[in-house]
């Protein structure tokens, strides 16, 4: 049975564009996988502790040598890794904070990099490949080619490199200029913001269209108005 891991990280709650995009994507996934299951994790509500001098070396020591604090940190890493292992598809909401990812996302990734568990330390081969990772990114400003701050988006530049060691390659769907609707100084950019948001939503809606068509043909897709299917 197909399984989805849905991860949010925005601290903005109901005002978060990245959360709206992941919710839309989760609904589309459910519509295409009517018998699938979902695990939800909110990194903003329960951020994984950063790896510090007390627990950080747990991943480089035999479990029998762990201190109690290291054992707890190790157990959390395994929990987060197992969520990835169970998933066929992963959705990650990724806002841009101070031109980089939320620190909770950095910590989450650090917990996923475990020698001998998520990559082979001798060959460097990642052990979590074969999974679909869709990253729903939201930018308050614009960072594309030709803009004054082109190249300032260090979240999208960093994540593929950070995950490469465990064998996962992200696909990004991004809505830009999301602050235009609330920032008077950006009012002239509202049409571009709406265009960017609509383009992102169109891509999201088409992600699993072949699966939806197949389910419909087989009579296996639930009613499109069924809240059990569309509730994100």
β-pairing, 89-95 vs 37-42, is unpaired
pLDDT exceeds cutoff 60 at 86: yes
- Specify the pLDDT at position 147: 94
Is the four-CA dihedral 119, 162, 8, 146 of positive or negative sign? Answer: negative
- Specify the pLDDT at position 156: 97
Q: Enter the tokens of residue 18.
A: 């990245």
Closest to 10 in 3D by CA, of 43, 49, 48: 43
- Specify the pLDDT at position 209: 87
For the chain, the average pLDDT equals 92
Q: pLDDT digit string (tens) for 16-59? A: 999 999 999 999 999 999 999 999 999 999 999 999 999 999 99
In whole angstroms, how large is the CA radius of gyration of the chain? Answer: 19
Residue 49: Cβ within 10 Å count? 15
Q: pLDDT digit string (tens) for 102-147? A: 999 999 999 999 999 999 999 999 999 999 999 999 999 999 999 9
Residues of the chain above pLDDT 90, percent = 90
Helix or strand or coil: residue 3? strand
**How far is residue 146's CA from residue 228's CA, in Å, rounded to a whole number?**
44
Cβ–Cβ < 8 Å for 174, 141: no
- Mean per-residue pLDDT for 164-185? 97
**How far is residue 179's CA from residue 190's CA, in Å, rounded to a whole number?**
9
pLDDT exceeds cutoff 60 at 165: yes
CATH topology assigned to domain 3-27+37-178: Rossmann fold (3.40.50)
């Amino acid at each position: 049975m197909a399984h989805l891991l849905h991860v949010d990280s925005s601290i903005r709650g109901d005002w978060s564009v990245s959360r709206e995009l992941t919710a839309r994507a989760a609904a589309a996934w459910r519509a295409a996988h009517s018998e699938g299951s979902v695990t939800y994790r909110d990194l903003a509500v329960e951020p994984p502790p950063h790896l510090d001098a007390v627990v950080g070396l747990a991943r480089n020591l035999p479990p029998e040598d762990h201190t109690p604090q290291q054992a707890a940190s190790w157990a959390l890493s395994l929990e987060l890794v197992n969520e990835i292992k169970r998933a066929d598809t992963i959705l990650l909401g990724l806002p841009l904070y101070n031109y980089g990812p939320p620190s909770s996302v950095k910590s989450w990734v650090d917990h996923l990099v475990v020698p001998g568990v998520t990559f082979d330390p001798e060959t460097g081969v990642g052990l979590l490949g074969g999974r679909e990772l869709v990253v729903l990114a939201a930018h308050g400003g614009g960072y594309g080619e030709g803009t004054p701050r082109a190249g300032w988006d260090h979240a999208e530049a960093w994540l593929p490199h950070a995950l490469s060691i465990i064998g996962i390659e992200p696909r990004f769907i991004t809505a830009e200029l999301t602050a235009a609707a609330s920032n008077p100084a950006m009012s002239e950019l509202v049409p571009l913001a709406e265009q960017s948001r609509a383009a992102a939503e169109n891509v999201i809606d088409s992600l699993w269209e072949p699966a939806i068509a197949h389910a419909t043909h087989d009579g296996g897709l639930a009613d499109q108005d069924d809240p059990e299917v569309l509730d994100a």
